[in-house]
């Protein structure tokens, strides 16, 4: 289970629909009965459809784990508009070790995330 905060930095010079997605997530993972603490820092490019009640989104990039480990992540999800500033966010996240940045060598994890998306202007 992850807890933390994710930020979406708007990149208007690239496109009104593109964002840089980053943040810090804390996880406690259990490997062979031994629990270890990890911090995950995603660094991804994200496309969010800008209009409507349901706003699909897709992200791709790197995840950095502390202590040192790196994975590639592909996220797909949607934001559901609750008000002008609040959205319910649902995301499916696939992490893998790549052979050439985009081709999965081995699947590491699959997760579903639910949260609040706050649009700050």
The least confident of 8-17, 54-63, 82-91 is 8-17
Among residues 27, 23, 68, 26, the alpha carbon closest in space to that of 43 is found at 23
Contact at 8 Å (CB) between 58 and 75? yes
Domain count, the chain: 1
If you ran DSSP here, which 8-state letter would residue 13 be given?
T
- Percent of the chain surpassing pLDDT 70: 86
25 compared with 69, residue with greater pLDDT: 25
Give dist(CA 30, CA 99) in Å, integer. 26
Q: How far is CA 61 from the centre of its chain?
A: 9
Measure CA of the first residue to CA of the last residue in the chain; give whole Å.
Answer: 30
- Percent of the chain surpassing pLDDT 90: 38
Ramachandran bin of 32, using left for φ above 0, alpha for ψ from -120 to 50, beta for the remaining angles: left
Average pLDDT over residues 20-41: 84
The least confident of 1-5, 60-64, 74-78 is 1-5
Q: Residue 35: is its pLDDT beyond 70?
A: yes
Q: Which residues contact 106 (CB under 8 A, 6 or more apart)?
A: 96, 97
Per-residue pLDDT of 71-99, as tens digits, reads 888 999 999 999 988 999 999 988 887 76
- E strand spans, 1-121: 2-10, 18-31, 34-48, 54-66, 69-81, 86-98, 104-118
Show the domain range for 65.
2-118
Number of Cβ within a 10 Å radius of residue 97:
13
């Amino acid at each position: 289970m992850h807890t933390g905060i994710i930020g979406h930095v708007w990149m208007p010079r690239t496109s009104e629909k593109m964002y840089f997605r980053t943040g810090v997530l804390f996880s406690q993972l259990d490997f062979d009965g031994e629990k270890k603490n990890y911090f995950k820092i995603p660094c991804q490019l994200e496309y969010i459809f800008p209009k409507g009640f349901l706003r699909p989104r897709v992200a791709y990039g790197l995840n950095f784990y502390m202590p040192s480990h790196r994975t590639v992540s592909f996220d797909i999800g949607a934001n559901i508009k609750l008000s002008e500033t609040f959205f319910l966010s649902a995301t499916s996240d696939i992490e893998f070790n790549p052979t050439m940045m985009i081709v999965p060598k081995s699947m590491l994890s699959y997760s579903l995330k639910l949260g609040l998306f706050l649009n700050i202007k």
